[in-house]
Protein backbone atom coordinates (compact mmCIF):
# COMPACT_ATOMS: atom_id res chain seq x y z
CA UNK A 1 0.00 0.00 0.00
CA UNK A 2 1.29 3.45 -0.86
CA UNK A 3 1.84 5.83 2.02
CA UNK A 4 -0.27 8.98 2.04
CA UNK A 5 1.39 12.37 1.73
CA UNK A 6 1.85 13.75 5.26
CA UNK A 7 0.97 17.29 4.16
CA UNK A 8 -2.31 16.13 2.63
CA UNK A 9 -3.11 14.09 5.73
CA UNK A 10 -2.37 17.06 8.00
CA UNK A 11 -4.59 19.29 5.87
CA UNK A 12 -7.48 16.82 6.06
CA UNK A 13 -7.06 16.34 9.82
CA UNK A 14 -7.15 20.10 10.33
CA UNK A 15 -10.24 20.43 8.16
CA UNK A 16 -11.91 17.53 9.98
CA UNK A 17 -11.27 19.14 13.38
CA UNK A 18 -12.57 22.52 12.19
CA UNK A 19 -15.72 20.94 10.79
CA UNK A 20 -16.34 18.94 13.97
CA UNK A 21 -16.19 22.18 15.97
CA UNK A 22 -18.47 23.97 13.50
CA UNK A 23 -20.91 21.04 13.58
CA UNK A 24 -21.02 21.14 17.39
CA UNK A 25 -21.52 24.91 17.48
CA UNK A 26 -24.04 25.32 14.69
CA UNK A 27 -24.70 22.24 12.65
CA UNK A 28 -25.91 23.02 9.15
CA UNK A 29 -26.60 20.73 6.21
CA UNK A 30 -23.53 22.14 4.45
CA UNK A 31 -21.28 21.43 7.45
CA UNK A 32 -22.70 17.92 7.69
CA UNK A 33 -21.97 17.26 4.00
CA UNK A 34 -18.46 18.67 4.22
CA UNK A 35 -17.71 16.67 7.36
CA UNK A 36 -18.91 13.47 5.69
CA UNK A 37 -16.77 14.23 2.61
CA UNK A 38 -13.62 14.95 4.62
CA UNK A 39 -14.24 11.82 6.73
CA UNK A 40 -14.53 9.64 3.62
CA UNK A 41 -11.39 11.15 2.11
CA UNK A 42 -9.37 10.69 5.31
CA UNK A 43 -10.52 7.06 5.62
CA UNK A 44 -9.61 6.41 1.98
CA UNK A 45 -6.25 8.14 2.30
CA UNK A 46 -5.27 6.11 5.38
CA UNK A 47 -6.93 2.84 4.35
CA UNK A 48 -9.15 2.93 7.43
CA UNK A 49 -12.73 1.75 7.78
CA UNK A 50 -13.85 4.31 10.36
CA UNK A 51 -12.77 7.72 11.66
CA UNK A 52 -11.23 6.47 14.90
CA UNK A 53 -8.94 4.20 12.91
CA UNK A 54 -8.26 6.92 10.33
CA UNK A 55 -7.19 9.37 13.03
CA UNK A 56 -4.94 6.77 14.65
CA UNK A 57 -3.32 5.94 11.32
CA UNK A 58 -2.97 9.60 10.40
CA UNK A 59 -1.29 10.33 13.74
CA UNK A 60 1.11 7.42 13.21
CA UNK A 61 1.91 8.57 9.68
CA UNK A 62 2.58 12.14 10.83
CA UNK A 63 4.70 10.94 13.73
CA UNK A 64 6.78 8.76 11.38
CA UNK A 65 7.18 11.68 8.97
CA UNK A 66 8.44 13.90 11.82
CA UNK A 67 10.95 11.25 12.88
CA UNK A 68 12.17 10.86 9.30
CA UNK A 69 12.59 14.65 8.91
CA UNK A 70 14.48 14.82 12.20
CA UNK A 71 16.71 11.93 11.14
CA UNK A 72 15.59 9.81 14.07
CA UNK A 73 15.49 6.14 13.25
CA UNK A 74 12.41 4.10 13.96
CA UNK A 75 13.68 0.56 13.63
CA UNK A 76 12.00 -0.79 10.54
CA UNK A 77 10.80 1.44 7.75
CA UNK A 78 8.96 4.42 9.34
CA UNK A 79 6.40 4.59 6.58
CA UNK A 80 5.43 0.92 6.85
CA UNK A 81 4.93 1.38 10.61
CA UNK A 82 2.51 4.23 9.95
CA UNK A 83 0.42 2.20 7.50
82 band by pLDDT with thresholds 50, 70 and 90 = very low
- pTM of the predicted model as reported, rounded to 2 decimal places: 0.77
The predicted structure's pLDDT at residue 41: 96
Q: What is the mean pLDDT of residues 50-62?
A: 95
CA 72 vs CA 5, 10, 38, 64: distances in Å: 19, 20, 31, 9
Give the contacts of 6 (CB within 8 A, at least 6 positions apart): 61, 62, 65
Q: pLDDT at residue 81 above 50? A: no
Structure confidence by residue, pLDDT tens digits, 2-55: 678 999 999 999 999 999 999 999 989 999 999 999 999 999 999 999 999 999
Q: Radius of gyration over alpha carbons of the chain, in Å?
A: 14
Phi, psi of 5 (to 5 degrees): -70, 120
Amino acid sequence: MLAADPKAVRTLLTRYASLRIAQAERGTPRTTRELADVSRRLCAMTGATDMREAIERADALLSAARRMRAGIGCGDDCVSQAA
